[in-house]
Structure 1
Amino acid sequence: MYLMWSRILSSHVIGRTTSCWRSLYTMQVKTREFQSLFTEGLKGLAEVFEKHQHELRIAGGAVRDLLSGKRPEDVDLATTATPEEMKHMFQSAGIRMINNKGEKHGTITARLHNENFEVTTLRVDVQTDGRHAEVQFTTDWYKDAERRDLTINSMFLGLDGTLYDYFQGYEDLQNHKVRFVGSAEERIQEDYLRILRYFRFYGRVALKPDDHEPEILAAIKENGRGLAAISGERIWMEIKKMAVGNHAAHLLELVYTLDLAQYIGLPPGGDVDELKRVWQNVKHHSPKPMTSLAALFHCPEDVEKMDLRLKVSREEKSLALFLIKYRRELRKTEDESNSLKPFTDFIFDNRELDTQSKVCELLKYQGEDKLLAELSTWSIPRFPVSGHDLRRMGIVGKEIGDTLQKLRDIWKKSHYCMDKDELLSYIKP
């Protein structure tokens, strides 16, 4: 990775920070990941903005990922052009625009060479209520960076590879620190969801589980009640990412320590000790978010209350209820040579499409690494006897179902090894 950096001090008075000067760090980025972003679509987009003399830079999370040596999945772009100017530019160039829902917040989505590009006008928040912001467009990159949540998300990257870093985001990224831009309390009060975003990014960036700045935790505790007004869907998106990230057990424990659980749908008095134990089991096995979170729940009623607040998917709710019901009930046998059998029998008897996936999550929860590896390669065998076979033997009506069930039980005891003739031999003429 090729990186050069220099520091430029610009003598402009800043707004909501404690310094009297704007401090801009620049660095030249020429990495393979950065170069790979330049598809025909992005090149074409850049030409349009250059022609009309408007600046265009990569913004936010994509910059953070590139500086971490990762190729970003999504690339958000920022510009000095207003939405009206962008629409005029794109129409003149014959570029299709889609999804105009973001236009009032300054975002225009352009489609070039079968790629979608979200481009957002630089803006400042002129009024916020802790959930939404009334914005005003600007051409000042510093002001746009200043309104963002975390320093590591406030950087811009020019298409020539120049990094623009006003709040030491690159330094924080290098030092694995997660800090708010300016005042933590002010940033949180602009959008209370930033509390959970802080936890999520802490799990992605920090090396140690408990290396928070005390003033940040104090601001979170003081403003936690603001999460009550945030929609369940937005909260759930953050919790899901936090629950599978690094330090998940520590961060979820912190949710309880800072008295946040009551506002975000997690059960009061959640079983944090169980969560810590389960996290040690699952953290190396790519668990589903609900696999970790289920450890907090004492009973099905906890899941129902969570669902009312967070509006989780049917599959997610079903998994939580499954894990609560079977985490103690469905376990391996004492016979080491046959310890997987309770799980394979359960899958065979249940016959629902997602049962094997749920049982795999259960084995992660229980810390059964060996059984998980075996079950992951196990295929549900095909029962060799059908109702048609029984009718040919003169069995009719309700007796067909009863007989099939008896033969299934025999087949399970044989470890699914008997063939059709062997099973049919159990039917008395």
Structure 2
Amino acid sequence: MFTLKDLKTEPPEWLLYPESQELLACLEGAGGEGRFVGGCVRDALLGIVSEDLDICTSLPPDEVMYALKEEGIRVLPTGLKHGTVTAMLGERRFEVTTLREDVETYGRHAEVRFTDDWQEDAARRDFTFNALYMEGDGTLHDYFGGLADLERGLVRFIGDPVERIKEDYLRILRYFRFLGRFSGTIFDQRSMEACRTERSGIRQLSAERIAKEILTLLATDDPSFAVEKMIETEVWAQVFKSPANWIRFQGLMRTQLRRPDPILRLAALIAGELPDPSFMRHGLRLSNRQMKRLEALWTYRDLATDSRPFEEQIYRLGRDTYYDQVSLLIADDPDNPHWKLQQEEGMKWQMPEFPVSGQDLLETGLAAGPEIGIKLKELEQFWIDEKFQPSKSDLLSRY
């Protein structure tokens, strides 16, 4: 349950911007009306400040463009075909969209018709709490019970969930993302079942969009409930082509509940569930940095059978990779104190820097060539075996 703010007595910060009021006045002066809509209104009710400010207006797009230009407001036709322009007032950006209704939808694309009916515009949106409109004085308009749903933390599609999903299959993943953000243990049965029955439509989505939704979900404070439902509805298997390691993920959440780390959480769910992580490079299109981190976690259990001192393990793996791998070992067995102690000790250890370079060996008289690299590795291993104690001069005296 959430306690919602009264936006008339506690208006959001962005509503008080002079630019916000100037823009609304401009639309009204042209004979139309403007209302803030969507995420900025939803978040304001929860006391969260949003920087993504969307306004709907009853004016047609060409009249919006004309009115803004007449007032000296810079305007960009960013999505004119679908009724959206971007108004630039100083450093503030506002997306201004004409009220519309869908004539026909084609996945993420739709043929729209402009309208002056606010409820028709609301009916084409995804979830009830994303169809809340607010006037410049804080007056709210709620056409589909979004306020009550937001207060309960209930994520519910507007109208027929199957129809909403067929209009845009990304809404399946958005459903679970919002479930992770807002819901504790409640869900709308019709919405959940629609995600299950329409899950194959996820194949139509780009890898980039899938990655963004999954990582945003896993970055919430506690995505456990949403992930569990993704697994139960087989949406997870549809995305990843493999089962999720739910037990390991629960272990990670027990030990790092309030440390949102989407890549580490993703690794807890999938590391080792496929022969190698190459699917992630194409199936999710992760960044190179994210992909390297995930690949380094794929064989984390090798660390459990590594007999080298933890200092050498850290030196070879790098501090960040060592921390990640031990985190998953802790997740495998949260009640065993061994790896937690190893991790704590490892994070205290000050990792030294190998003091000898290839140039140093050349200056001792060794000939340039592959032999330099071999000797350098031998010397480094000796330095490690001696607990990182030999100085540069001690090491070079061996040649």
TM-score, with length taken from structure 1 = 0.79
The residue number in structure 2 matching 1:317 is: 291
* Conserved? CA contact 2:361–2:372, under 8 Å: yes
Structure 2 residue identity aligned to 1:240:
L
Asked if the contact 2:245–2:273 (Cα under 8 Å) also holds between the matched residues in 1, the reply is: no
Aligned counterpart, 1:30:
10
2:211–2:286 CA contact under 8 A, matched in 1: yes
- The equivalent position to 2:189 in structure 1, one of 214, 238, 263, is 214
Whether contact under 8 Å (2:237, 2:243) holds in the other structure is: no
Asked whether the equivalents of residues 55 and 80 of structure 1 are also in contact (C-alpha less than 8 Å), the reply is yes
- Size of the aligned set, in residue pairs, is 388
Structure 1 equivalent of residue 329 of structure 2: 366
Query: Which position in structure 2 is the counterpart of 1:406?
Result: 378
Flag the 1:220–1:180 CA change in 2: closer, same or farther, 3 A: same
Quote the Cα distance in structure 2 between the aligned partners of 1:378 and 1:120. Answer: 56
Which of the numbers 297, 308, 326 marks the counterpart of 2:282?
A: 308
**Equivalent in the alignment of 1:159:** 136
Matched, 1:237 2:202: no
Q: Deviations along 1:45-69, whole A, 9 cap, x unmatched?
A: 3342233232222211111111111
Q: Deviations over 1:358-390 (max 9, x none)?
A: 444334333355665666687764332233433
**Offset from partner CA, 1:166-185 (integer Å, 9 cap, x none):** 22212222112211223323
Residue equivalent to 1:66: 44
* Paired AA for residue 260 in structure 1: V
Instruction: Determine the C-alpha separation between the residues in 1 that align with 2:141 and 2:67.
Output: 25
Shift in alpha-carbon separation, 1:372–1:120, aligned structure 2, 3 A:
farther
RMSD: 3.1
CA distance in 2, matches of 1:117, 1:319: 37
- Aligned-residue offset at 1:72: 1.3
In structure 2, the CA distance between the partners of 1:302 and 1:246, relative to structure 1 (3 Å rule), is farther
Residue 323 of structure 1: how far off its partner (Å): 1.3
Residue 313 of structure 2: aligned partner: 342
Match of 1:296 in 2: 270
| CA distance 1:297–1:409, shift in 2 (3 Å) | closer
Aligned to 1:21: none
Q: For the residues of structure 2 that align with 1:360 and 1:159, how far apart are their CA atoms?
A: 49
Q: Secondary structure at the match of 1:94?
A: coil
* Map of 1:396 onto structure 2: 367
Give the conservation status (yes or no) of the 8 Å contact 1:149–1:181.
yes
Distance 2:58 2:346 in 1: 55
Q: Match of 1:352? A: none
Aligned equivalents of 1:202 and 1:60: distance in 2? 17
1:228 maps to a residue whose letter is R
Percent identity reads: 32
Relative to structure 1, the CA distance from residue 3 to residue 240 in structure 2 (aligned partners, 3 Å threshold; closer, same or farther) is closer
Question: Is 2:4–2:45's contact at 8 Å kept on the other side of the alignment?
Answer: no
Contact 2:5-2:44 at 8 Å conserved across structures: no
- What does residue range 192-207 of structure 1 map to in structure 2 within 5 Å? 192-207=169-184
Give the alignment partner of residue 302 of structure 2, picking from 315, 326, 329: 329
Structure 1 Cα separation of the partners of residues 250 and 256 of structure 2: 10
Question: 1:94 and 2:72 equivalent?
Answer: yes
